[in-house]
Structure 1
Amino acid sequence: MAGLTASGAAYAQQTKRMAEPTELIDQQHCMFCHTSDSPFLAPSFHQIAERYRKVPDATVMLEQKLRLGGRAHWGDTPMPLPPERGGPLSPEDAHTLIQWVMTQ
């Protein structure tokens, strides 16, 4: 990363792909509504990352939404409540999932 500014290096590190947390994705049934790169019933993970990547505190908001469900930000499909998609999600697991989404 020679030649990158400190903020450029931080952005490059943030957007570096991390390993897919497959067990969490399966447990929470994420692929019932999302795909990696095409909209389905909900936006793709890539679309979510593009929309929120440069928004301050977006990861905190997304982690909260993932843990609690909530109103639709795209179209008419809200994020299902935890019991409807695999059960409660710990703050640590929500963080892991959102960090992965943000690298898409």
Structure 2
Amino acid sequence: MKRTFLILGATVLFMASFTSAPKENEPAVTINTNLAPKIATMQMSGGELLINKSDCIGCHHKINKLIGPAYTEIAKKYPNNEKNVTYLAGKIIKGGSGVWGKIPMTPHPKISPSDAKLMAKYILSLKK
């Protein structure tokens, strides 16, 4: 038992000898301030959050076509203006068919018009 404590103590002292205490004016943790803008851009918009919380991701993807068109394809087709935001918000709520193929989009009547507009604005913001 004494031998175990002796070995453990020697190991702790050995490991502690490799660490250095921070200097007086040096912070213990260095933060790279160049990362702050990148972290801020990783935050989701309200429309993107609503899309991710709904069942939209079962049929749509941001870049790739699944059952329905990719959001980037929708953004390419429709200019980002209030008329198209209202039109797409209506499509989100009422559903539709024929615009992107034979498979109809299911209606989402429980989504409020204001939430549907946020979702449409996010989708149209993806135009490159």
Q: TM-score, normalised by structure 2?
A: 0.57
Superposed, 1:4-19 pairs within 5 Å as 19=45
Matched ranges for 1:12-31 at <5 A? 19=45, 21-31=47-57
Aligned length: 83
Deviation of 1:28 after TM superposition, in Å, equals: 2.5
1:26 CA displacement:
3.4
What is aligned with 2:71?
45
Report whether the alignment pairs 1:94 with 2:83. no
Question: 2: distance between equivalents of 1:26 and 1:103?
Answer: 16
Bigger Rg, which one: 2
Q: Hey, what's the Cα distance between the residues in 1 that align with 2:105 and 2:81?
A: 20
How far 1:56 moved relative to its partner?
7.4
Q: Deviations over 1:19-52 (max 9, x none)?
A: 2635421343111011001111111000000000
Percent pairwise identity: 27
Q: Which runs of 5+ in 2 are unaligned?
A: 1-43
TM, length-normalised to structure 1: 0.68
What are the ranges of 5 or more consecutive residues in structure 1 without an aligned counterpart? 1-17
Structure with the bigger RCO (C-alpha within 8 Å, sep 6+) is 1
- Show the counterpart of 1:59: 85
**CA distance in 2 between partners of 1:99 and 1:70 (Å):** 19
CA RMSD of aligned residues (A): 2.2
